[in-house]
Chain A
Amino acid sequence: MQTLSIAKTESTPKVLFDINTHTHYIEGESYPENTNIFYQPIFDWLCEYLKNTPNEQKISFNIDLVYFNSSSSKVLMDMFDLLEDFGENGKCIEINWLYNEEDESSQEYGEEFAEDYEIIKFNLIKK
């Protein structure tokens, strides 16, 4: 298995899922024309990675999205659901939701996600 690295574009974020550090990043903006086409390979990679990573390995995701559209919001929820499922099965996963203090919505979106998950640790971090 190899590290997943996708470069940022105007409407899709930089994705860096690192199999060596187990610290992963999604950064930028997300409003692709077709959300499924962009995110399906990322989900496939993630499933494979989570199945192959030992439970004692701490895994963290840093989500730093300046903007995401409604269909990307759905994809993020699906991703957090998947992480929660693996959390239930013993994986040690934390999500760091980075928000811009000057953009109230970015904090609100993080808080709303945070209240839906119990097993995985969902941290809200001011940039």
Chain B
Amino acid sequence: MLDNLYELKRQLNSNNVIFSFCGPMSQKVVEGVGTTVKNALATDNVSPTVSMKVFGIFVEQVQNVIHYSEDKISNENMIDNELRLGIIMIGQCSENYFVAGGNKIKNIHVQKLDDMLQKIISMDKEELKDYYKQKRREENETTSKGGGLGFVEMARKSSKPMEYLITKIDNDYSFFSIKVIV
């Protein structure tokens, strides 16, 4: 393990990853890491517009893991009873920044997610704005945790079409990955 750590770090660096986290996500991760990322971008002379977009996409992706990941650990002594696991990274690609993340999902939810993302990706800026407003009005907090609106939000902050991949793990689960470029 120890001899692989440096190799892992080198791999991340060669993909221009400036931050990565793999494991149980929590609101504290969103707050602590998010603030650190904002500060790091500020010292890198990134414009407030870009910095807030990177931060915003980071928040939506981590909160998606917290709400939707099927990879969970639970312990009755934990305050929130369970923690959801996933992966998140922020990196640079040429002139831009990217935020990529992923988590385990149930196969029964794959089709719906795939349809929703296809629809969002096919939209231009103006369509996204209208769809965002429509979804914001439709969404009911009692039946949804806001995942749909979160993807539209990410698409609006993205400078290129979002990319995603759904990889089958077994008969019950798949792994969902998404990359958003600011």
Residues of A within 8 A of B (CB): 10-11, 31-33, 35-36, 66-67, 69-71, 73-74, 77, 100, 102-106, 112, 116
Contact = CB atoms under 8 A, between A and B. Distances in A.
A12 B49 CA distance: 21
A102 B49 CA distance: 6
A103 B42 CA distance: 13
Interface of B (DSSP majority class): helix
Interface in B46-104: 47-49, 52-53, 55-56, 59-60, 63, 66
| Minimum-distance CB pairs A-B, first 5 | A71-B146, A33-B27, A10-B31, A70-B153, A70-B149
B55 A67 contact: yes
A77 B134 CA distance: 12
Contact of B136 (A35, A66, A77, A100): A77
A11 B31 contact: yes
Contact of B59 (A69, A105, A112): A69
Nearest to A101: B48
* Chain B interface residue bracket vs A: 20 to 34
A74 B59 contact: no
B102 to A, nearest CB: 19
Nearest to A106: B52
A50 to B, nearest CB: 21
Contacts of A104: 49
Given A74-B139, A103-B49, 8 more contacts: A10-B31, A31-B30, A32-B27, A33-B63, A71-B150, A77-B136, A105-B53, A116-B133
Contacts of B53: 105
Contacts of B32: 10
A11 B136 contact: no
Contact of A103 (B48, B66, B149): B48
B112 interface: no
A125 B58 CA distance: 28
B39 interface: no
